[in-house]
């Protein structure tokens, strides 16, 4: 019996423990991201923000969660009940499983697979299905239009994101996220990737349906978009999935462009190197998340034709051209990374 436990059950408990160590802090971070967003926007608009529930309003996310949990779940009579309920669950689960390949520090990753970047790209691309299912199953014109908008929007910007990722792979020579962080990059490589960093951040805003690209849930014309018929915990799952995707896209930005858990700017000061890599990783994610919050507080919503023009007529040609520029620069400087066992 003891041998059976050691061989079969112990590895299962170890994996479950690792999953909980990732999921529980992530859920807490997601809850307090809503608090941070309201505080940051309030500061930018000269308001106070949440300040009544708990000290400095710190218990506001818990109060909001309890309020949503206590509300009645209303399912429209004309909707497809199974898909209507499944859509928010799918959105939330896809946002969670993406974190399986995210490295938080050297060796701190649940699954250190060799094609981690492809896994992330594939899972993030599936997120559109939850929104499409919600828009169709609600049997509402507003929700359906919101779902169609989201599908077109995600397809437009995923092409650009894919080409941006290709430029990073050209520089690092690996699809493994840990190796992408650990790959040595010279100053001119960072300079070469900077335009793609800008494109990636803007595309991440569009990919997560955040302002100024929050057209799928445009209140002024679609009432609430794809989630207009949702209430209680079904609405909360969409809400959680959106904020989880914000954190995920910020983590991808940090891994691809900002050095992951490494000390910023390659500084070797002793007091900086003493800080654990996990802390640097979290601080960098917070810095990228601030851009998400900043854009919502300052930028007006794009028109739909402007959104499509930016994706297809500006970002797509630019990112395609930049793949050629990066490849050419690497070849000219004899810096193109070679696969293991292949000599240049």
Residues 244-266: tens digit of each pLDDT: 989 999 999 999 999 888 888 77
Environment class of residue 39 by beta-carbon count within 10 Å: exposed (0-12), middle (13-18) or buried (19+)?
buried
> Can you tell me the distance from the alpha carbon of 131 to that of 88, in angstroms, rounded to the nearest whole number?
8
pLDDT in tens, 139-190: 888 888 888 888 888 888 888 999 999 999 999 988 899 999 998 888 889 9
Structural domain boundaries, residue 313: 79-332
pLDDT at residue 112 is higher than 60: yes
> Can you tell me the distance from the alpha carbon of 101 to that of 108, in angstroms, rounded to the nearest whole number?
10
Is residue 342 one of the residues assigned to a domain? no
The least confident of 137-146, 314-323, 331-340 is 331-340
Residues 250 and 156 in one domain: yes
> Can you tell me the distance from the alpha carbon of 81 to that of 285, in angstroms, rounded to the nearest whole number?
37
pLDDT in tens, 181-221: 998 888 889 999 999 999 999 999 988 888 888 887 776 67
Residues 62 and 194 in one domain: no
Residues 291 and 308 in one domain: yes
Q: Which residues contact 180 (CB under 8 A, 6 or more apart)?
A: 117, 168, 169, 172, 174, 255, 256, 260
What value does the mean pLDDT take over residues 275-283? 90
What value does the mean pLDDT take over residues 93-112? 88
pLDDT at 8: 60
Is residue 319 one of the residues assigned to a domain? yes
Which position has the higher pLDDT, 220 or 241? Answer: 241
- Total of domains in the chain: 2
pLDDT at 328: 92
pTM of the model: 0.90
What value does the mean pLDDT take over residues 272-285? 89
Residues 172 and 32 in one domain: no
pLDDT at 2: 61
Residues 124 and 177 in one domain: yes
Averaged pLDDT of the chain: 86
Residues 93 and 199 in one domain: yes
């Amino acid at each position: 019996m003891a041998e059976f436990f050691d061989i079969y059950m112990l590895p299962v408990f170890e994996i479950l423990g690792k999953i909980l160590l990732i999921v529980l802090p992530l859920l807490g971070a997601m809850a307090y991201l809503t608090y941070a967003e309201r505080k940051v926007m309030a500061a930018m608009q000269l308001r106070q923000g949440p300040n009544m529930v708990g000290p400095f309003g710190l218990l506001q996310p818990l109060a909001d969660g309890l309020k949503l949990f206590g509300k009645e779940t209303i399912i429209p009579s004309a909707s497809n009940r199974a898909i209507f309920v499944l859509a928010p669950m799918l959105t939330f689960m896809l946002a969670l499983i993406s974190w399986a390949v995210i490295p938080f520090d050297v060796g701190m990753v649940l699954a250190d697979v060799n094609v981690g970047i492809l896994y992330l790209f594939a899972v993030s691309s599936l997120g559109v299905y939850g929104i499409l299912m919600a828009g169709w199953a609600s049997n509402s014109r507003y929700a359906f239009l919101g779902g169609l908008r989201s599908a077109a929007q995600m397809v437009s910007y995923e092409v650009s994101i894919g080409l941006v990722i290709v430029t990073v792979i050209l520089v690092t020579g690996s699809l493994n996220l840990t190796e992408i962080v650990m790959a040595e990059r010279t100053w001119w490589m960072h300079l070469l990737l900077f335009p793609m960093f800008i494109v990636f951040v803007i595309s991440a805003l569009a990919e997560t349906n955040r302002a100024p690209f929050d057209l799928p849930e445009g209140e002024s014309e679609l009432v609430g978009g794809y989630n207009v018929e949702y209430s209680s915990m079904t609405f909360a799952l969409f809400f959680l999935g959106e904020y989880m995707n914000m954190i995920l896209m910020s983590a991808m930005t940090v891994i691809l462009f900002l050095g992951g858990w490494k000390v910023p700017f390659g500084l070797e000061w002793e007091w900086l190197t003493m800080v654990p890599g996990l802390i640097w990783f979290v601080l960098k994610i917070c810095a990228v998340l601030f851009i998400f919050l900043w854009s919502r507080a300052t930028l007006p919503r794009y028109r739909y034709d402007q959104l499509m023009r930016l994706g297809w007529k500006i970002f797509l040609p630019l990112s395609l051209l930049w793949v050629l520029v990066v490849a050419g620069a690497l070849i000219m400087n004899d810096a193109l990374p070679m696969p293991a066992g292949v000599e240049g």
